[in-house]
Each structure stands twice: as structure tokens, then as C-alpha cells.
Structure 1
Amino acid sequence: MSGKDLKLGVVGLGARSKLAQNADQPDQGSSVVAICDPIPASQESGLANFPGAKAYGDHRDLLDLGLDGVFLTTPDHLHEDPAVDFLEAGIAVFVEKPLAITTEGCDRVLEAARRSGARLYVGHNMRHMPVVQIMREQILAGAIGEVKAIWCRHFVGHGGDFYFKDWHADRSKTTSLLLQKGAHDIDVMHWLAGGYTTRASAFGELAVYGGITDRTDRTGQRFSEFVDEANWPPLEQKGLAPVMDVEDLSMANLQLGNGVLMSYQQCHFTPDYWRNYTVIGTAGRLENFGDGPGGVVKVWNSRRSGYREDADVVIEIPNAEGGHAGADPRLVQEFLTFVRNGSATLTSPIAARAAVAAGHAATTSLRNGGNPVDVPELDPELVAYFERGQTS
């Protein structure tokens, strides 16, 4: 493919579709030539973001355009079927996380990639975020010894503004926010721990937003049209989704195949919005305070009695140009290089499936009294295929 622009499509023109603008560089290696969304207003705004593209209303209209790759930035429940269609048409696919909303859906996409030989990439951009890379570098350098436990507290301060006003609140479109939002964090924890969840147990409730009766159908709207960050306290929210059957408070315990134990806690009615990871090893622990520029990662690996704010190592989290502290442009560049050369990537379809499978198992447990649920094993031949870099 060298010497010419990659021809790219974008399917799903919501807020996350702007990610693909990093790939729209005509005469510099790649250009977006086709965009797709069933909503005419979204097509119109999409053409403003991708002026060299032609708009379509059905993703199947893009299958015969000779595309080299496509970005799937649709709502979560619309990842699986289009991904399979594009892969079977021989088109490389970037699937925004999560890969699908069920473990079985993930396996179907993975199998389509292997069967077709088309390249599959999953947009777990947090692997490119400075805060995560700093933590991983410290772990690989042996700063805390061998990892034994990880927990993550995810304070989703914009939960009522974002996720309980549109399709995110409908379990038929997400399975749960424990999966939808948690896929990011579970993937990060898996990466830091060097293993995947084999068993999950969880509890959760629709503890706050379920009692709010002011509802609005926001079909066709985007975040920018209904977000009001001035809303406080959470019980004062207005215009929540007509269908709201996912939990706003979830707590999951996860057991990994390598013996590491993890805990994930997610709350959608906190006053702040950030993630706190704590990683404990055989020789210390590390923790982030803030997950973007201005925050720090601290490492404690000498003995002390009581809490001391002055850690043994303090690393400032840097900023970089582009979304998510520079992670988004790096993610897109990695995908484009992968499409061209099949080179190694930080993201992994197998890891993406593992994150969904953990969230799916935890959700099943949560809705069945907290009983432990085992994660189904993935076909070893599929694992081998992707570990070889998607080559036969």
C-alpha cells in the first residue's frame, strides 16, 4: 500500500467519530473518503468534519467502495455486525471499545477476522495514555516487585450528564456500564497484571438515578446537545433516558489466571471524574493521583509506619497534543501503521475480548445475587492466530 493514501471510512458519526480526523490527511498517507450514519443531521455534521468524504446511511453501502480500512465508532451494540461485515469484505477494521457487548459477540468478530484474514484492531486508547504507560514502565522495571493485587476506583462524575440520558442506560445496547465503561479499566488492569480474568463476582444497584421520573427521548441527539455539568446534586438531574435499566453503582471482584486478584468499583454520582489505580506487588505499591496532566504516579517501596504523602518515587503525568493526553492520535497512527504493515500493536483483540468477557461475567454475577461466574475460555486456535500478529 506504500505510495498512496489509505482509503478510509467512518461508520457512526457521534462524538467519538472525531477520533478519525487524526487519519484524514489527504496526500499524506490516509484520507477519509466515506462516512456513514442513519441520521441525516449526523451525516451533515460529519461532512463538515470530513470534507473530502461522501455520506451514506447504511454501512453496507461502504462494502464495495474499495476501502482499505474503516473506523467503527457506532453505539456499542452496533459494533459486532458491521465489524463482521467489513472483515468478511476484506476491509481492515478499527472497532471502538468495547469490541462487542457480549463474550459471544466478541468471539464471533474474532472468528470473522481469522476466517477472512482482514486485520482487526480495537481502540483501547488508554494503553497509550501517559498515566497508564508510566505505571506499566514502573512495574516492568521492578519498582514494586511482582504484581499481586490491583484495584481501580472509577469516579464517573458526569454519569448523570452523559450515561443516563441516552442509549448507554439501556442494557440491550450496553449489557451494563460495568462492561461499557469498565472495559477500559479492566483492560488496563489486565495489562498491568499480565493476565486475564477467569472468574468474577459482583454486586451493584441503580441506586440514585432510578428514582428520577423526569425522562426525555433523546433519539438522534449527541452528548453536546444534552450535557449540563452544572447539575448538582445528582438527584436534581432532569431529562434522563426513557429506558434506564443499568446500574449506577457497581463493585466487582476478579480472579486472574495467573493468581492476581483485582477489584473494580464504578460510581456514576460522584462530584469528581477520574480513575484511581492502586497496584500492590511483593516489594511495594504504586498509585495514581489524577489520571491526566497535572496528576502524578507515586511509588512506595520502602518500609514506613502510617501514611506518608512523600512517596519514594513521584512521576508527573505529562500532557501531549490530542485527545486523552495525546493517546487518541497515537492510537490512530498505530492503526494506520498496522493496516499498512501488519506491525505489532499495544492494543490486542484477545485482550479486548478478555476485558468484555470479564465485564460480561461480572454483570451476570451482579444480576444473580453475586454468585461467582467463570469466564468462558477462548478457542486456543484463535488465541494463537492473534498472538502471531493475525497471520496464518
Structure 2
Amino acid sequence: MPPVSLIVLGAGDRGAKHAKWALAHPDRARVVGVAEPREVHRTRFVHDHALPPERSTSDWRDLAALGKIADAVLICTPDRLHVEPAVAFATLGYHIMVEKPMALDEASCREIVTAVERSGVMLSVGHVLRYTPYTSALKQIVDSGRLGSIVSIQHLEPVGFWHQAHSFVRGNWRRSDEATSMLMAKSCHDLDWLQYVLGEPPARVSSFGRLSHFSPANRPVGAADRCLDCSVTAECPYSAPRFYGELLERKEHRWPLSVVVDDFTPDALKEALRVGPYGRCVYGCDNDVVDHQVVAMEYPGGATATFTMTAFTEAVGNRSTRIFGTHGELVGDGQTIRVYDFLTRTEESIAVTGDGAMNASGGHGGGDAGLMGAFIEAVATKDPTRIKSGPRDSLLSHLSVLAAERARRNGSVETVRDPL
């Protein structure tokens, strides 16, 4: 069958990476159009995919005005700009893959789900953790009954000290009013993953968390507004010139450096840090999202789970999980799964072959490729069951995130609403 045709809305880091999957699999998919407001990114994307001028635009509405020119659309616009194009392209008959989170409030999530179901098109949400080889192996163990009935789970997301500083203090997701909550922006993956592993969303949630460190109260004496002017940068673990400069020296011309500069030269980096947001002191930004948070969940089947997100870890590491069942215990770190059997008192260690590191630049341990492969296969075969992160499942996990954030803000125990 002919390759699935795609248009891409948003040619930033995520959009460009998803589109590169098509370049690697030209027999399965091809990109035929792009909408991207930033000229540098749009020009680079057009060159990579050999697009004609009439299929390249700064505004997605111009592509929508052409009617249905492709089988599917990848919506990789900023989080707050997902709803309008999703509804518009669903109405035109496009199958849709939308980056997570699919929307930032309940009404908007429901609007997208209603639009795709009314139009009879498929929707895949970018919950890449569902698609990793590690998750497949872990879920197979849970579903097999080896652990007995699941009683409780501990799950940790180590954000990484520099990732927090880059994305959630200096970067685009630093403010909840301009972007969204930390839980929605970063950890909707994790509540969705727990729902996938257990096979059901939580019934009740509570949550605690706050912004503890990245604030003016913790600013070192003598610190300047910008790292380039700072007299204490040598003692600061969050020094922007050191972090981004080391990436440049190692020729790591990808995320996160690619977010800071388009031209990978020392002069371009120095100028970006002199005038741009990524050169600001982490103790003098306008950020307000939390730097640590815990969520406690109770599931309809009786299991409980705790989720911890913290900025203060060595690196953007693999999530770590402990699953406690009536017949056994499972410990996983994203690469290795250890299962202990209570009856035989024996242990099995399973190494899982992933595909890259568990972060954006590493393809989320094979999750990025798995997400794209499943979506393209679903469109090609007209089989929505190939998609592991469809509209109803994703709506449920988004409602869980929204309930948890209400619980944190209100000091309450929140019920996760029925999506129907």
C-alpha cells in the first residue's frame, strides 16, 4: 500500500523528530506539508522533506484551507494551541496525532474527543511511555498474574536539576498561567503510564507540592540577573554558560541546546545568553511551577499508588517503579526489571533492550518511534486498536492529572470524574 501522507503543525523539537521517522521509513510514511511560524525552523523542515512552497506556511489555517491533502496530521504546536487545529482537522477527516498534553482543561479535552468521535477519525495522544519496549515487558508481567493482585505501587520521575532549570525555570513551561501546571506539562506521562499498567484510572487522588528552591529567597549574595554578568557563577550548579557551553563543545547540536540557539557557534550562544530567557539567573526568573510534588492515588480495584516528581536528581533519568503484589514484587528502572517470587523465593532479572535514553533527545527509550510506528500502522490498516493512547484512555488520564492538581491547590481529596 502507498505510504501514509502527513502534514505537520509545529516544526520545533517534537514536530521535527516525529517527522524524521517518516524520513527513516519512506515506504511507510511521507510528509507533504508543514505549518511553522518561525522561519528558520520552517526553512530547515522544508529542505529536509523537499516540500513545495505551496505546502509550507506560517499558519496552520492556510493548510486547513486546502482541504484534505493528507491522510493524517501531527499537531505539535504549543500546549495551549492544540484544541482549535485538532477540531478543525478532525472535521476535515484527518486522523490525528497530538502531542501530550492534548489540552490543558477538562472542557478542551472533551472538545477534542467529541470532535474526533463525531468525525469518525482516529486520535493518538503522545503518551510515549506506553510505547517503550520496557513498558511492554513490564505490563506483560503484571497482566500475566505473576505478581498476584496488585496492592500498591511506588513510582518516581527524576526530572534532573538542569532539565528543571532549562524547561521549568527559564523555559517555556516555567509559568502555569502561560503554559500549564508542572504535573500536566511533565508528569501527565506518569499518571497515564500508571493507568495503563494497572488497567484503570484512579478513583480518588490527593497531592502535595510546591516551588521550594528556584525563587529570589534562595538567590546567592552577589548573583547577577544574568549568568554572563555573575560573580558567583563558578559556584552555581545552574550556570547557563557552563551547561550550554559544554553541550556546544561536545557538538551536541540537539535538544536542549537547539532550543537556545539556531546557529551552533560560541558567538550565537553568547548572544542568546546575553539577551534571551535561557541566560537568566534561576533565582531571578518569573517562574511559579513546583519543583517537587507527590500524588497519592486510590484505584477502583483497591490498589493504591504514590507518584513523586522531583527536580533535584543527577540527570534526566529513567523512571523507577516498585510494584507490590500478593504473590511477588517487581522493581524496574526503565532498563532492567527484577521480579521476586514469594512462593519460590527466587528472583528473575530481565534486561530490556531500549532505543536511546529516556528523554526527548534520546527518543524516550524507543517510545517516540513506537508512538509513530503504531499511529502510522493504525492509519494504514484503518485499525484504531493499534493505538495504545486513544481518545477515551487519554481523556481519563488527563482528568486524573487535573484532579490531582486541584487537590494540591485546595488541600483536598478529589474524585476523578467519569468521562462519559
TM-score under structure 1 length normalisation: 0.83
Partners of 2:127 and 2:189 within 8 A in 1: yes
Aligned equivalents of 1:376, 1:193: Cα separation in 2: 18
Instruction: Tell me the CA shift for residue 58 of structure 1.
Output: 0.9
Deviations 1:349-380 (A, max 9, x none): 22211221111111111111x2112222112x
Q: What does 1:183-198 align with in structure 2 at a 5 Å threshold?
A: 183-198=188-203
Aligned equivalents of 1:196, 1:16: Cα separation in 2: 27
Aligned equivalents of 1:20, 1:311: Cα separation in 2: 45
1:86 match: 89
Aligned equivalents of 1:84, 1:105: Cα separation in 2: 10
Q: What does 1:9-24 align with in structure 2 at a 5 Å threshold?
A: 9-17=7-15, 18-24=17-23
5+ residue gaps, structure 1, are: 229-236, 305-309, 380-392
Q: What does 1:105-120 align with in structure 2 at a 5 Å threshold?
A: 105-120=108-123
Aligned equivalents of 1:167, 1:82: Cα separation in 2: 21
Identity %: 26
Equivalent position SS for 2:168: coil
1:361 match: 403
The answer to which of 319-328 and 123-132 deviates more is 319-328
Distance 1:208 1:49, change over 3 A: farther
Aligned equivalents of 2:25, 2:185: Cα separation in 1: 33
Q: What does 1:68-147 align with in structure 2 at a 5 Å threshold?
A: 68-147=71-150
Which of the two has greater helix per residue?
A: 2
Partners of 1:298 and 1:311 within 8 A in 2: no
2:168 match: 163
Q: Does 1:280 align with 2:279?
A: no
Distance 1:262 1:214, change over 3 A: farther
Distance 1:285 1:12, change over 3 A: same
Distance 1:364 1:155, change over 3 A: same
The answer to which of 313-322 and 84-93 deviates more is 313-322
The answer to which of 315-324 and 14-23 deviates more is 315-324
Distance 1:348 1:214, change over 3 A: farther
The answer to which of 105-114 and 57-66 deviates more is 57-66
The answer to which of 52-61 and 137-146 deviates more is 52-61
- Give the greater-gyration-radius structure (CA): 2
1:233 match: none
Alignment coverage as a number of residue pairs? 355
1:41 match: 40
1:383 match: none
2:245 match: none
Deviations 1:31-75 (A, max 9, x none): 111111112222123224333363211111111252211111122
2:377 match: 337
Aligned equivalents of 1:42, 1:155: Cα separation in 2: 30
Aligned-residue Cα RMSD (Å) equals 2.6
1:61 match: 62
AA partner of residue 223 (structure 1): P
AA partner of residue 3 (structure 2): D
Aligned equivalents of 2:196, 2:41: Cα separation in 1: 35
TM-score under structure 2 length normalisation: 0.78
Distance 1:342 1:172, change over 3 A: farther
